[in-house]
């Protein structure tokens, strides 16, 4: 068997240029790569990654390889792979890559199996499919695994559940929970890339439309902010009273999905939960409503019910599936209900992925250095790593901030001084 499974090796040069383009706005990861080249902190380490195969991920893989690791990569979603990037890694970097945009579920899991043949010592996940496959199908691999990292909210939720049920077989660092990750990647990254995906797929004007954002976590906040900036009237749906108040005070309307259904032009789910858009909502939507998802898994929209309500279905544009309902209304589903930002666009821009992937690289190094101390738990990113990445990012922006005077430091560490 070949050491890679990609769509087309001839795309390699195109991918190489685009990876270089992305790396130009990843200054923190560039610095880490330079240090890794000298110090080789990951020397001889076997690392398997299951990430969205994008230009930014490619630069992370090159960084880990520069640190001495033997790396292999598969896709963390069947629709998010950039085929030219996969080709470049396989051909120019001679990296075992198993990812094809549009692969079916069987191929997706076959590719996960393929990276596990490396018998990894570190796993790097986005959504926890690698960890979950190891636990369910190859528990024997866990003994030689030092630890793993997890990129996204959905994955961290799954892993916390595994830790709670005491079935987690090796330590994990929750990269998602670093402030330098979710403050920026989840909010500004998802905000921009989701809108980008919707616009690329539909070429519709956002201004003046009613845009329904399901879920007001970090991703929902970013999306609402950007859609509002493009001129949409935003409706937020939530299950959490606190987040609902926050959305109201940010200037948005909040209502239930059943009330939003008849008024929305666009609907985007970013909740991490199942069937947020379901039969009862489709029954009330306007003719021509556009629905999509930017949460990790394709479970937020109940596509099976939409199928059952429909008498016909056609691909009217790439990434737009028009469902014709029996009463004549049309509902347009984008990107098969998969992450619209990665399926119909290119995912988050490189300058936010810079911080996310700096966390990944430094946490892999941290796990190797602290292998003997780590337990079978989900750990936060160490505070010094998070702070260092923030400092380096700010430095790369050539922005200086004030420092506390000794008087101010004393004041902050005392309690006696009042009015
Ligand atoms: N998740 C969201 N955007 C991404 C990107 N550009 N690369 C890798 N993972 C991502």
Cβ of 182 closer than 6 Å to ligand 1, yes or no, is no
Domain-located, residue 260: yes
pLDDT for 1 beyond 60: no
Cβ of 111 closer than 6 Å to ligand 1, yes or no, is no
Pair (216, 338) in one structural domain = yes
Average pLDDT on 279-285 reads: 98
pLDDT tens across 44-75, in order?
999 999 999 999 999 999 999 999 999 999 99
> Which atom of ligand 1 sits closest to the CA of residue 54?
7
> Which atom of ligand 1 sits closest to the CA of residue 190?
2
Tell me which of 189, 222, 297, 360 to substitute to probe ligand 1's pocket, judged by most ligand atoms within 8 Å of the beta carbon: 189
Residue 2: per-residue pLDDT: 79
Tell me which of 353, 355, 357, 359 to substitute to probe ligand 1's pocket, judged by most ligand atoms within 8 Å of the beta carbon: 353
Domain-located, residue 417: no
Pair (256, 135) in one structural domain = no
Instruction: Mark out the alpha helices in 274-321 (DSSP H runs).
Output: 279-282, 303-309
Pair (194, 225) in one structural domain = yes
8 A C-beta contact, residue 178 and residue 357: no
pLDDT for 348 beyond 60: yes
Cβ of 181 closer than 6 Å to ligand 1, yes or no, is no
Cβ of 56 closer than 6 Å to ligand 1, yes or no, is yes
Pair (110, 190) in one structural domain = no
> Which residues, 6 or more positions from 318, have their beta carbon under 8 angstroms from its beta carbon?
201, 344
pLDDT tens across 102-151, in order?
999 999 999 999 999 999 999 999 999 999 999 999 999 999 999 999 99
The pLDDT-based confidence of 302 (bands split at 50, 70, 90) is very high
The pLDDT-based confidence of 292 (bands split at 50, 70, 90) is very high
Pair (319, 373) in one structural domain = no
Pair (32, 176) in one structural domain = yes
Pair (157, 294) in one structural domain = no
Average pLDDT on 79-103 reads: 98
The pLDDT-based confidence of 418 (bands split at 50, 70, 90) is confident
Residue that is written with structure tokens 């792979």 in the block: 81
Cβ of 294 closer than 6 Å to ligand 1, yes or no, is no
Domain residues for the domain of 216 are: 186-343
Ligand 1 centroid, distance to 347 Cα (angstroms):
5
CA atoms of 71 and 293, how far apart (whole Å): 31
Q: 143: how many CB neighbours lie within 10 A of its CB?
A: 8
Pair (17, 141) in one structural domain = yes
The pLDDT-based confidence of 419 (bands split at 50, 70, 90) is confident
Ligand 1 centroid, distance to 305 Cα (angstroms):
30
Average pLDDT on 324-351 reads: 97
pLDDT tens across 204-219, in order?
999 999 999 999 999 9
8 A C-beta contact, residue 340 and residue 134: no
* Average pLDDT, rounded, for the chain: 97
Q: In what order do the strands lie in the sheet with 253-254?
A: 253-254, 233-237, 210-214, 266-269, 289-293, 330-334, 320-325, 310-317
Domain-located, residue 122: yes
Ligand 1 centroid, distance to 355 Cα (angstroms):
12
Cβ of 350 closer than 6 Å to ligand 1, yes or no, is no
pLDDT for 269 beyond 60: yes
pLDDT for 185 beyond 90: yes
Instruction: Mark out the alpha helices in 310-379 (DSSP H runs).
Output: 340-343, 350-369
Pair (83, 154) in one structural domain = yes
CATH number assigned to the domain comprising residue 302: 3.40.50.720
CA atoms of 152 and 50, how far apart (whole Å): 12
Q: 135: how many CB neighbours lie within 10 A of its CB?
A: 17
Domain-located, residue 403: no
CATH number assigned to the domain comprising residue 37: 3.40.50.1480
Pair (47, 115) in one structural domain = yes
Pair (212, 159) in one structural domain = no
Domain-located, residue 123: yes
Counting the structural domains of the chain, the total is 2
Domain-located, residue 70: yes
Domain-located, residue 1: no
The last residue of one of the domains, among 343, 360, 383, is 343
Pair (124, 177) in one structural domain = yes
Residue 81: per-residue pLDDT: 98
> Which atom of ligand 1 sits closest to the CA of residue 56?
7
């Amino acid at each position: 068997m070949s050491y890679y499974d990609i769509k087309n090796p001839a795309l390699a040069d195109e991918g190489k240029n685009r990876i270089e383009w992305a790396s130009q706005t990843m200054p923190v990861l560039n610095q880490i790569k330079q240090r890794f080249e000298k110090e080789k902190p990951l020397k001889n380490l076997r690392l398997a990654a299951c990430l969205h195969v994008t230009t930014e991920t490619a630069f992370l893989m090159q960084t880990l390889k520069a640190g001495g690791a033997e790396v292999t990569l598969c896709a963390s979603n069947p629709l998010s792979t950039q085929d030219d990037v996969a080709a470049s890694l396989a051909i120019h970097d001679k990296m075992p890559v198993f990812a094809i945009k549009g692969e079916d579920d069987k191929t997706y899991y076959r590719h996960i199996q393929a990276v596990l043949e490396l018998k990894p010592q570190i796993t790097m996940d986005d959504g926890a499919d690698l960890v979950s496959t190891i636990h369910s199908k190859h528990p024997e691999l866990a003994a030689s695994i030092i630890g793993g990292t997890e990129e996204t909210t959905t994955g961290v939720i799954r892993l916390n559940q595994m830790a709670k049920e005491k079935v987690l077989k090796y330590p994990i660092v929750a990269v998602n929970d670093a402030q330098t990750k979710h403050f920026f990647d989840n909010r500004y990254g998802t905000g921009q890339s989701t809108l980008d995906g919707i616009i690329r797929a539909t070429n519709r004007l956002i201004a003046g439309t009613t845009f329904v954002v399901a879920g007001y976590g970090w991703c929902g906040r970013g999306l609402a902010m950007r859609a509002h900036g493009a001129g949409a009237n935003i409706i937020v749906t939530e299950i959490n009273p606190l987040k609902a108040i926050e959305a109201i005070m940010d200037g948005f309307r909040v209502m239930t999905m059943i009330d939003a259904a008849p008024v929305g032009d666009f609907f985007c789910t970013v909740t991490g939960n199942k069937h947020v858009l379901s039969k009862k909502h489709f029954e009330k939507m306007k003719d021509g409503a556009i629905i999509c998802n930017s949460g990790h898994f394709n479970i937020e929209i109940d596509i099976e019910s939409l199928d059952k309500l429909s008498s016909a279905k056609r691909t009217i544009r790439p990434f737009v599936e028009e469902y014709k309902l029996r009463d004549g209304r049309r509902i347009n589903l984008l990107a098969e209900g998969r992450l619209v930002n990665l399926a119909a666009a290119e995912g988050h821009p490189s300058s936010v992925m810079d911080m996310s992937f700096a966390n990944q690289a430094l946490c892999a190094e941290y796990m190797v250095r602290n292998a003997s101390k780590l337990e079978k738990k989900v750990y936060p990113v160490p505070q010094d790593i998070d702070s260092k990445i923030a400092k380096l990012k700010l430095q790369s922006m050539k922005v200086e901030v004030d420092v506390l005077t000794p008087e101010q430091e004393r004041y902050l560490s005392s309690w006696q001084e009042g009015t």
